[in-house]
Amino acid sequence: MFGVLRGMGITFKNFVASYFLPRKPNSLETGGMVTLQYPEERLPEKERFRNFPFLIYDTKPDDLRCVACDICAKECPPKCIYIVRDNDEQGRPLKKPKVFDIDFTVCMNCGICEEACPFDAIFMDHEFEVGGPERQQSLVYHMDQLLKPATHFAKIRPTDHVAIEEKRRKEAEKKRAAAQAQPKPPEAKPPQA
Ligand code: SF4
Ligand code: SF4
């Protein structure tokens, strides 16, 4: 009985507050009404919110971090990532994808691709409005739709961006130090006359 009265009291309080304590736009901060008038209004997403993955590039889309190693595709539980490695003119494999597709109708937003990628090349995005007006709209996203700049990642996930950039800086330093520590090949002797 006490629980019922308490519940009715809360309902009544919210009912009254919804008239006298109007909510701030795009916020649930008030004692009153908590229904958000989506899509006109929307709450800011939390940094760790995740939906579909995207591919990151540093300065320009050609400069993508993905090396087409296929690890994310192998680890993806519903197998919705499809990658074809690019080749040069002689047919030798390049360290970049020619095709990188993700079927968003199958993706279950688990984030395993992000965790599995050793090159910090794929991250979970905040975007969730991927529908469209067409009945047969394809939700297979191709590389040009998946590519987003590192500035986008910095904007949606600033904490992770700082941590990842620091990790990449340390890795680059380590590689540079290792390369410098390599013994130099002996200099070729000039041909004798
Ligand atoms: S996104 Fe990462 S794991 Fe997937 S193919 Fe590219 S480099 Fe490999
Ligand atoms: S989020 Fe999960 S299901 Fe979606 S592409 Fe990545 S690994 Fe696959």
Query: Pocket of ligand 2, candidates 110, 127, 142: which has the most ligand atoms within 8 Å of its Cβ, to mutate?
Result: 110
Query: Pocket of ligand 2, candidates 101, 112, 130, 142: which has the most ligand atoms within 8 Å of its Cβ, to mutate?
Result: 112
Q: Is 146 in the pocket of ligand 2 (CB under 6 A)?
A: no
Q: What b-and-e string marks burial along 74-84, b requiring 16 or more CB atoms within 10 Å of the CB?
A: eebeeebbebe
Distance CA 128, CA 53 (A): 10
- Bridge partners (DSSP) of residue 148 are 56
- Bridge partners (DSSP) of residue 147 are 55
Model's pTM, two decimal places?
A: 0.81
Atom of ligand 2 nearest to the CA of 50: 1
1 CA to centre of ligand 2 in angstroms: 48
Residue type, 87: N
The per-residue pLDDT of the chain, averaged, comes to 89
What are the sequence ranges of the domains in the chain? Answer: 7-40, 53-129+137-179
Was domain 53-129+137-179 assigned CATH 3.40.50.20? no
Helix (H, G, I), strand (E, B) or coil at 15: helix
- Provide the H-helix boundaries in the chain: 2-20, 71-75, 112-116, 143-146, 150-156, 158-181
Radius of gyration for the chain, computed over Cα atoms and rounded to the nearest angstrom: 26
pLDDT tens digit string along 45-93? 899 999 999 999 999 988 899 999 999 999 999 999 999 999 999 999 9
Q: Is 138 in the pocket of ligand 2 (CB under 6 A)?
A: no
Residue 122 in tokens: 């794929």
pLDDT tens digit string along 113-147? 999 999 999 999 999 988 878 877 789 999 999 99
Please compute, for residue 174, the number of CA atoms within 13 A of its CA located in the half-sphere on the CB side: 6
Q: Is 108 in the pocket of ligand 2 (CB under 6 A)?
A: yes
Distance CA 4, CA 181 (A): 74
Looking up tokens 């994310």 gives: 72
